Amino acid sequence: MSQALSTDILIVGGGIAGLWLNARLRRQGFATLLVEKASLGGEQSVKSQGIIHGGAKYALHGALTGASEAIADMPRRWREALAGNGELDLSGVRLLSEAHYLWSPGSLAGNITSFFASKAVRGRVDQVKGEQLPPALQHPKFKGKVYRLAELVLDVPSLIARLAELAGDGLLAAESITPLHEQGQLVGLVVDGREIRAQRIVLSAGRGNAELLATLGLTQPAQQLRPLHMVLVKGPTLKPLYAHCLGAGPKPRVTVTTHPAADGEWVWYLGGDLAEADGVARDSAAQIKAAQQEIGALLPWVDFSSARWATLRVERAEPAQSGLTRPDNAFLTEQGQLLVGWPTKLALAPDFADRVLAALDRAGIQPASHAPLPPLPRPTVAHPAWEELF
Protein backbone atom coordinates (compact mmCIF):
# COMPACT_ATOMS: atom_id res chain seq x y z
CA MET A 1 0.00 0.00 0.00
CA SER A 2 1.32 3.47 -0.93
CA GLN A 3 1.63 6.21 1.67
CA ALA A 4 -1.76 7.31 3.01
CA LEU A 5 -2.80 10.92 2.41
CA SER A 6 -5.29 13.19 4.10
CA THR A 7 -7.08 16.33 2.97
CA ASP A 8 -10.12 18.38 3.87
CA ILE A 9 -12.07 17.90 0.65
CA LEU A 10 -11.49 15.17 -1.92
CA ILE A 11 -12.97 16.01 -5.33
CA VAL A 12 -13.48 13.40 -8.04
CA GLY A 13 -13.87 14.84 -11.53
CA GLY A 14 -11.71 17.46 -13.22
CA GLY A 15 -14.15 19.26 -15.46
CA ILE A 16 -14.88 22.97 -15.05
CA ALA A 17 -17.22 22.31 -12.10
CA GLY A 18 -14.67 20.29 -10.12
CA LEU A 19 -11.80 22.62 -10.99
CA TRP A 20 -13.77 25.76 -10.11
CA LEU A 21 -14.87 24.22 -6.81
CA ASN A 22 -11.30 23.15 -6.07
CA ALA A 23 -10.01 26.68 -6.62
CA ARG A 24 -12.77 28.23 -4.49
CA LEU A 25 -12.05 25.84 -1.61
CA ARG A 26 -8.30 26.41 -1.74
CA ARG A 27 -8.83 30.17 -1.77
CA GLN A 28 -10.84 29.80 1.45
CA GLY A 29 -8.07 27.87 3.15
CA PHE A 30 -9.24 24.29 2.66
CA ALA A 31 -6.79 21.55 1.78
CA THR A 32 -8.04 19.83 -1.36
CA LEU A 33 -7.11 17.04 -3.71
CA LEU A 34 -8.80 16.61 -7.08
CA VAL A 35 -8.72 13.19 -8.74
CA GLU A 36 -9.21 12.76 -12.50
CA LYS A 37 -9.24 9.43 -14.37
CA ALA A 38 -8.82 10.89 -17.85
CA SER A 39 -7.77 14.40 -18.93
CA LEU A 40 -8.84 17.64 -17.26
CA GLY A 41 -12.00 18.88 -18.97
CA GLY A 42 -11.85 16.04 -21.45
CA GLU A 43 -15.44 14.84 -21.29
CA GLN A 44 -18.07 17.59 -21.34
CA SER A 45 -16.14 20.78 -20.56
CA VAL A 46 -13.82 20.97 -23.55
CA LYS A 47 -16.74 20.05 -25.83
CA SER A 48 -18.90 22.96 -24.64
CA GLN A 49 -19.39 26.08 -26.76
CA GLY A 50 -17.97 28.32 -24.04
CA ILE A 51 -21.05 30.52 -23.68
CA ILE A 52 -21.65 32.08 -20.26
CA HIS A 53 -25.43 32.26 -20.55
CA GLY A 54 -27.40 35.01 -18.84
CA GLY A 55 -30.86 33.59 -19.48
CA ALA A 56 -32.02 35.05 -22.79
CA LYS A 57 -32.13 31.74 -24.66
CA TYR A 58 -34.43 30.37 -21.95
CA ALA A 59 -36.93 33.23 -22.32
CA LEU A 60 -37.82 32.94 -25.99
CA HIS A 61 -41.57 33.08 -25.33
CA GLY A 62 -41.48 36.29 -23.30
CA ALA A 63 -41.54 34.85 -19.77
CA LEU A 64 -38.57 34.38 -17.50
CA THR A 65 -38.35 30.72 -16.53
CA GLY A 66 -36.66 29.23 -13.48
CA ALA A 67 -33.62 28.56 -15.64
CA SER A 68 -33.30 32.15 -16.89
CA GLU A 69 -33.71 33.59 -13.38
CA ALA A 70 -31.19 31.19 -11.85
CA ILE A 71 -28.54 31.91 -14.43
CA ALA A 72 -29.06 35.67 -14.76
CA ASP A 73 -26.18 36.65 -12.46
CA MET A 74 -23.60 34.31 -13.96
CA PRO A 75 -22.11 36.69 -16.59
CA ARG A 76 -21.34 39.28 -13.89
CA ARG A 77 -19.57 36.72 -11.70
CA TRP A 78 -17.54 35.37 -14.60
CA ARG A 79 -16.61 38.89 -15.77
CA GLU A 80 -15.28 39.76 -12.33
CA ALA A 81 -13.23 36.58 -12.23
CA LEU A 82 -11.84 37.23 -15.72
CA ALA A 83 -10.84 40.72 -14.58
CA GLY A 84 -8.94 39.19 -11.67
CA ASN A 85 -11.12 40.72 -8.96
CA GLY A 86 -13.83 38.07 -8.51
CA GLU A 87 -14.19 34.94 -6.41
CA LEU A 88 -11.38 33.45 -8.52
CA ASP A 89 -8.56 35.07 -10.47
CA LEU A 90 -9.11 34.01 -14.07
CA SER A 91 -7.06 36.79 -15.59
CA GLY A 92 -5.27 35.42 -18.62
CA VAL A 93 -8.17 33.25 -19.77
CA ARG A 94 -8.88 34.07 -23.42
CA LEU A 95 -12.15 35.88 -24.01
CA LEU A 96 -13.42 35.01 -27.49
CA SER A 97 -16.30 37.47 -27.49
CA GLU A 98 -17.58 40.15 -25.12
CA ALA A 99 -21.11 39.31 -26.22
CA HIS A 100 -23.30 36.60 -27.61
CA TYR A 101 -26.13 37.52 -29.95
CA LEU A 102 -29.74 36.64 -30.72
CA TRP A 103 -30.15 36.59 -34.49
CA SER A 104 -33.41 36.46 -36.38
CA PRO A 105 -32.95 35.59 -40.07
CA GLY A 106 -35.89 37.79 -41.07
CA SER A 107 -38.79 35.37 -40.88
CA LEU A 108 -41.93 36.69 -39.22
CA ALA A 109 -41.88 34.01 -36.51
CA GLY A 110 -38.21 34.64 -35.80
CA ASN A 111 -38.72 38.38 -35.49
CA ILE A 112 -41.62 37.92 -33.09
CA THR A 113 -39.61 35.47 -31.00
CA SER A 114 -36.61 37.81 -30.78
CA PHE A 115 -38.90 40.72 -29.83
CA PHE A 116 -40.39 38.80 -26.91
CA ALA A 117 -36.98 37.56 -25.84
CA SER A 118 -35.72 41.14 -25.69
CA LYS A 119 -38.69 42.21 -23.55
CA ALA A 120 -38.35 39.23 -21.22
CA VAL A 121 -34.73 40.00 -20.41
CA ARG A 122 -34.97 43.80 -20.51
CA GLY A 123 -31.77 45.55 -19.50
CA ARG A 124 -29.64 42.73 -20.89
CA VAL A 125 -30.47 42.94 -24.60
CA ASP A 126 -29.77 45.68 -27.18
CA GLN A 127 -30.48 45.63 -30.89
CA VAL A 128 -27.42 46.18 -33.08
CA LYS A 129 -27.07 47.23 -36.72
CA GLY A 130 -24.43 48.04 -39.32
CA GLU A 131 -20.85 47.93 -38.09
CA GLN A 132 -22.03 46.69 -34.69
CA LEU A 133 -23.13 43.41 -36.25
CA PRO A 134 -20.95 40.31 -35.85
CA PRO A 135 -18.42 40.15 -38.74
CA ALA A 136 -20.11 37.17 -40.40
CA LEU A 137 -23.41 39.10 -40.60
CA GLN A 138 -21.97 42.33 -42.02
CA HIS A 139 -23.09 41.65 -45.55
CA PRO A 140 -25.52 43.53 -47.83
CA LYS A 141 -27.68 40.43 -48.20
CA PHE A 142 -28.27 40.12 -44.47
CA LYS A 143 -31.83 41.24 -43.70
CA GLY A 144 -32.41 39.93 -40.19
CA LYS A 145 -32.46 41.50 -36.75
CA VAL A 146 -29.71 41.04 -34.19
CA TYR A 147 -29.76 41.61 -30.44
CA ARG A 148 -26.59 41.88 -28.38
CA LEU A 149 -26.65 39.90 -25.12
CA ALA A 150 -24.50 40.74 -22.12
CA GLU A 151 -23.08 37.20 -22.23
CA LEU A 152 -19.50 36.08 -22.73
CA VAL A 153 -17.92 33.42 -24.87
CA LEU A 154 -14.73 31.91 -23.45
CA ASP A 155 -11.91 29.87 -24.88
CA VAL A 156 -12.57 26.77 -22.78
CA PRO A 157 -9.10 25.18 -23.21
CA SER A 158 -7.45 28.29 -21.72
CA LEU A 159 -10.01 28.27 -18.89
CA ILE A 160 -9.21 24.64 -18.06
CA ALA A 161 -5.48 25.41 -18.12
CA ARG A 162 -5.92 28.39 -15.75
CA LEU A 163 -8.04 26.43 -13.29
CA ALA A 164 -5.42 23.66 -13.36
CA GLU A 165 -2.81 26.28 -12.39
CA LEU A 166 -4.97 27.36 -9.46
CA ALA A 167 -5.04 23.72 -8.28
CA GLY A 168 -1.35 23.91 -7.41
CA ASP A 169 -0.05 20.51 -6.31
CA GLY A 170 -3.55 19.23 -5.60
CA LEU A 171 -4.23 17.25 -8.77
CA LEU A 172 -3.94 13.47 -9.04
CA ALA A 173 -4.18 11.32 -12.17
CA ALA A 174 -5.95 8.04 -11.39
CA GLU A 175 -6.71 4.71 -12.97
CA SER A 176 -8.76 2.98 -10.27
CA ILE A 177 -10.95 4.45 -7.54
CA THR A 178 -12.56 2.37 -4.78
CA PRO A 179 -14.26 3.36 -1.51
CA LEU A 180 -12.48 3.42 1.85
CA HIS A 181 -14.76 2.50 4.74
CA GLU A 182 -14.21 2.36 8.47
CA GLN A 183 -16.86 0.99 10.83
CA GLY A 184 -19.36 1.10 7.99
CA GLN A 185 -18.71 4.76 7.20
CA LEU A 186 -17.17 6.21 4.06
CA VAL A 187 -14.00 8.01 5.17
CA GLY A 188 -12.15 8.37 1.88
CA LEU A 189 -11.15 6.67 -1.33
CA VAL A 190 -8.42 4.31 -2.41
CA VAL A 191 -6.86 5.70 -5.59
CA ASP A 192 -4.47 3.34 -7.36
CA GLY A 193 -3.70 1.67 -4.04
CA ARG A 194 -3.18 4.97 -2.18
CA GLU A 195 -5.53 5.64 0.75
CA ILE A 196 -6.86 9.21 0.76
CA ARG A 197 -8.92 10.32 3.76
CA ALA A 198 -11.05 13.45 3.73
CA GLN A 199 -13.68 15.26 5.76
CA ARG A 200 -15.93 15.29 2.71
CA ILE A 201 -15.86 13.67 -0.76
CA VAL A 202 -17.42 15.52 -3.70
CA LEU A 203 -18.35 13.69 -6.90
CA SER A 204 -18.32 16.16 -9.80
CA ALA A 205 -17.36 13.76 -12.56
CA GLY A 206 -20.23 14.42 -14.98
CA ARG A 207 -21.08 11.17 -16.75
CA GLY A 208 -18.58 9.40 -14.50
CA ASN A 209 -20.75 10.06 -11.44
CA ALA A 210 -22.97 7.09 -12.29
CA GLU A 211 -20.01 4.70 -12.36
CA LEU A 212 -18.62 6.14 -9.13
CA LEU A 213 -21.96 5.82 -7.39
CA ALA A 214 -22.20 2.20 -8.52
CA THR A 215 -18.72 1.57 -7.12
CA LEU A 216 -19.94 2.98 -3.81
CA GLY A 217 -23.01 0.72 -3.91
CA LEU A 218 -25.43 3.64 -4.42
CA THR A 219 -28.27 4.04 -6.90
CA GLN A 220 -29.20 7.63 -6.06
CA PRO A 221 -29.06 10.32 -7.25
CA ALA A 222 -30.02 9.02 -10.66
CA GLN A 223 -28.35 10.43 -13.74
CA GLN A 224 -29.64 11.24 -17.20
CA LEU A 225 -27.63 11.66 -20.40
CA ARG A 226 -28.86 14.24 -22.90
CA PRO A 227 -27.26 13.47 -26.27
CA LEU A 228 -26.14 16.08 -28.79
CA HIS A 229 -24.70 15.73 -32.29
CA MET A 230 -22.58 18.86 -32.81
CA VAL A 231 -21.18 19.97 -36.16
CA LEU A 232 -17.79 21.59 -36.74
CA VAL A 233 -16.71 23.45 -39.88
CA LYS A 234 -13.22 24.83 -40.42
CA GLY A 235 -12.08 27.04 -43.26
CA PRO A 236 -9.85 29.99 -44.22
CA THR A 237 -12.76 32.26 -45.19
CA LEU A 238 -14.82 31.97 -42.00
CA LYS A 239 -15.37 35.10 -39.92
CA PRO A 240 -16.22 35.09 -36.20
CA LEU A 241 -19.86 34.54 -35.28
CA TYR A 242 -21.29 34.02 -31.79
CA ALA A 243 -25.07 33.84 -32.05
CA HIS A 244 -28.29 31.95 -31.48
CA CYS A 245 -30.25 31.90 -34.73
CA LEU A 246 -33.89 32.05 -33.77
CA GLY A 247 -36.79 30.21 -35.32
CA ALA A 248 -40.43 29.78 -34.38
CA GLY A 249 -39.81 27.29 -31.56
CA PRO A 250 -38.65 27.61 -27.95
CA LYS A 251 -35.06 26.61 -28.79
CA PRO A 252 -32.49 28.33 -30.98
CA ARG A 253 -32.65 27.01 -34.54
CA VAL A 254 -28.86 26.83 -34.51
CA THR A 255 -26.23 28.17 -32.12
CA VAL A 256 -22.89 29.18 -33.62
CA THR A 257 -19.66 29.83 -31.74
CA THR A 258 -16.25 30.41 -33.30
CA HIS A 259 -12.99 29.01 -31.98
CA PRO A 260 -9.32 29.52 -32.90
CA ALA A 261 -7.44 26.54 -34.31
CA ALA A 262 -3.72 26.11 -33.80
CA ASP A 263 -3.03 26.80 -37.49
CA GLY A 264 -4.68 30.24 -37.33
CA GLU A 265 -7.97 29.31 -39.00
CA TRP A 266 -11.37 29.67 -37.36
CA VAL A 267 -13.69 26.79 -36.50
CA TRP A 268 -17.44 27.23 -36.34
CA TYR A 269 -19.04 24.98 -33.72
CA LEU A 270 -22.75 24.41 -34.36
CA GLY A 271 -25.27 23.45 -31.73
CA GLY A 272 -28.84 24.43 -30.90
CA ASP A 273 -31.81 22.54 -32.29
CA LEU A 274 -29.62 21.29 -35.15
CA ALA A 275 -27.67 19.17 -32.66
CA GLU A 276 -30.69 17.78 -30.80
CA ALA A 277 -33.59 15.43 -31.63
CA ASP A 278 -33.36 14.78 -35.38
CA GLY A 279 -29.67 15.62 -35.35
CA VAL A 280 -28.93 12.92 -32.79
CA ALA A 281 -30.70 10.35 -34.96
CA ARG A 282 -28.65 11.19 -38.06
CA ASP A 283 -25.32 9.60 -38.88
CA SER A 284 -22.33 11.90 -39.39
CA ALA A 285 -22.75 12.28 -43.17
CA ALA A 286 -26.46 13.09 -42.87
CA GLN A 287 -25.84 15.54 -40.02
CA ILE A 288 -23.18 17.37 -42.02
CA LYS A 289 -25.55 17.56 -45.01
CA ALA A 290 -28.32 18.97 -42.77
CA ALA A 291 -25.91 21.56 -41.34
CA GLN A 292 -24.72 22.57 -44.81
CA GLN A 293 -28.30 23.08 -45.94
CA GLU A 294 -29.22 25.04 -42.81
CA ILE A 295 -26.19 27.31 -42.81
CA GLY A 296 -26.32 27.66 -46.59
CA ALA A 297 -29.90 28.90 -46.39
CA LEU A 298 -29.18 31.27 -43.51
CA LEU A 299 -25.83 32.63 -44.72
CA PRO A 300 -25.74 32.18 -48.51
CA TRP A 301 -22.89 34.68 -48.91
CA VAL A 302 -20.41 32.64 -46.84
CA ASP A 303 -17.89 30.72 -48.97
CA PHE A 304 -17.61 27.13 -47.79
CA SER A 305 -15.90 25.82 -50.92
CA SER A 306 -12.64 25.04 -49.09
CA ALA A 307 -14.21 24.27 -45.71
CA ARG A 308 -13.86 20.95 -43.92
CA TRP A 309 -16.74 19.46 -41.93
CA ALA A 310 -16.92 17.04 -39.02
CA THR A 311 -19.36 16.02 -36.29
CA LEU A 312 -18.95 15.36 -32.60
CA ARG A 313 -21.30 13.42 -30.36
CA VAL A 314 -21.64 14.75 -26.82
CA GLU A 315 -23.57 13.35 -23.87
CA ARG A 316 -24.46 15.97 -21.29
CA ALA A 317 -24.72 14.34 -17.89
CA GLU A 318 -27.32 15.76 -15.52
CA PRO A 319 -29.47 14.70 -12.57
CA ALA A 320 -32.42 12.70 -13.85
CA GLN A 321 -35.48 14.82 -14.71
CA SER A 322 -38.96 13.87 -15.80
CA GLY A 323 -39.09 13.75 -19.59
CA LEU A 324 -35.32 14.30 -19.94
CA THR A 325 -35.85 18.04 -19.47
CA ARG A 326 -32.94 20.38 -18.80
CA PRO A 327 -32.42 21.12 -15.07
CA ASP A 328 -32.84 24.76 -14.09
CA ASN A 329 -29.94 25.03 -11.65
CA ALA A 330 -26.77 23.38 -10.50
CA PHE A 331 -27.59 20.26 -8.49
CA LEU A 332 -26.09 18.90 -5.26
CA THR A 333 -27.20 16.22 -2.83
CA GLU A 334 -25.62 15.09 0.46
CA GLN A 335 -25.29 11.52 1.71
CA GLY A 336 -23.23 11.54 4.89
CA GLN A 337 -19.61 12.27 3.99
CA LEU A 338 -20.47 12.20 0.29
CA LEU A 339 -21.68 15.13 -1.83
CA VAL A 340 -22.81 14.38 -5.39
CA GLY A 341 -23.67 16.92 -8.03
CA TRP A 342 -23.73 18.27 -11.55
CA PRO A 343 -23.40 21.93 -12.59
CA THR A 344 -25.83 21.13 -15.49
CA LYS A 345 -24.13 23.75 -17.71
CA LEU A 346 -20.76 25.51 -17.91
CA ALA A 347 -22.05 28.90 -16.79
CA LEU A 348 -23.38 27.47 -13.51
CA ALA A 349 -20.02 26.22 -12.19
CA PRO A 350 -19.97 29.08 -9.62
CA ASP A 351 -23.48 28.09 -8.48
CA PHE A 352 -22.32 24.49 -8.02
CA ALA A 353 -19.43 25.69 -5.85
CA ASP A 354 -21.82 27.87 -3.83
CA ARG A 355 -23.92 24.82 -3.04
CA VAL A 356 -20.93 22.77 -1.89
CA LEU A 357 -19.63 25.60 0.30
CA ALA A 358 -23.09 26.03 1.84
CA ALA A 359 -23.24 22.29 2.58
CA LEU A 360 -19.81 22.41 4.27
CA ASP A 361 -20.90 25.40 6.32
CA ARG A 362 -24.08 23.66 7.49
CA ALA A 363 -22.01 20.66 8.55
CA GLY A 364 -19.48 22.81 10.39
CA ILE A 365 -16.60 21.64 8.19
CA GLN A 366 -13.52 23.82 8.71
CA PRO A 367 -9.97 23.68 7.29
CA ALA A 368 -7.71 21.36 9.30
CA SER A 369 -3.98 20.68 9.41
CA HIS A 370 -2.57 18.12 6.98
CA ALA A 371 0.88 16.95 5.96
CA PRO A 372 2.08 18.45 2.68
CA LEU A 373 1.22 16.38 -0.38
CA PRO A 374 4.07 14.42 -1.93
CA PRO A 375 4.75 14.72 -5.68
CA LEU A 376 1.78 13.12 -7.44
CA PRO A 377 1.12 12.01 -11.02
CA ARG A 378 -0.73 14.91 -12.63
CA PRO A 379 -3.56 14.56 -15.17
CA THR A 380 -3.07 16.16 -18.56
CA VAL A 381 -5.21 19.00 -19.93
CA ALA A 382 -7.63 17.97 -22.68
CA HIS A 383 -7.02 19.04 -26.27
CA PRO A 384 -9.78 20.93 -28.13
CA ALA A 385 -12.04 18.68 -30.19
CA TRP A 386 -11.27 20.58 -33.41
CA GLU A 387 -7.56 19.81 -33.07
CA GLU A 388 -8.41 16.12 -32.87
CA LEU A 389 -10.94 16.12 -35.73
CA PHE A 390 -9.19 18.26 -38.35
Specify whether 132 is located in the same domain as 213. Answer: no
Find the domain containing 280 and state its range. 52-154+225-317
Specify whether 35 is located in the same domain as 60. Answer: no
CA–CA distance, 147 with 128 (Å, rounded to integer): 6
Question: Any idea what the CATH number is for the domain that residue 177 is in?
Answer: 3.50.50.60
Specify whether 164 is located in the same domain as 313. Answer: no
Specify whether 73 is located in the same domain as 134. Answer: yes
Residue-level pLDDT at 110: 59
Question: Any idea what the CATH number is for the domain that residue 61 is in?
Answer: 3.30.9.10
Specify whether 384 is located in the same domain as 350. Answer: yes
Specify whether 57 is located in the same domain as 139. Answer: yes
Is residue 109 within 8 A of residue 247, CB to CB? The reply is yes
Specify whether 175 is located in the same domain as 264. Answer: no
Domains held by the chain: number: 2
Residue-level pLDDT at 126: 83
CA–CA distance, 136 with 253 (Å, rounded to integer): 17
Specify whether 366 is located in the same domain as 308. Answer: no
Specify whether 116 is located in the same domain as 214. Answer: no
Residue-level pLDDT at 321: 83
Residue-level pLDDT at 191: 96
From first to last of the 390 residues of the chain, give the pLDDT tens digit.
467 999 999 999 999 999 999 999 999 999 999 999 999 999 899 999 999 987 665 555 555 555 556 678 899 999 999 999 999 999 999 999 999 998 988 765 556 555 555 555 555 678 899 999 999 999 999 988 898 988 999 999 999 999 999 999 999 999 999 999 999 899 999 999 999 999 999 999 999 999 999 999 999 999 999 999 999 999 999 999 999 998 777 678 999 999 999 999 999 999 999 999 899 999 999 999 999 999 999 999 999 999 999 999 999 999 998 776 777 789 999 999 999 999 988 999 999 999 999 999 999 999 999 999 999 999 999 999 999 999
First to last CA, the chain: 43
Buried b (16+ CB within 10 A) or exposed e, 100-128: bbbbbbeeeebeebbeebbebbeebbeee
Specify whether 102 is located in the same domain as 199. Answer: no
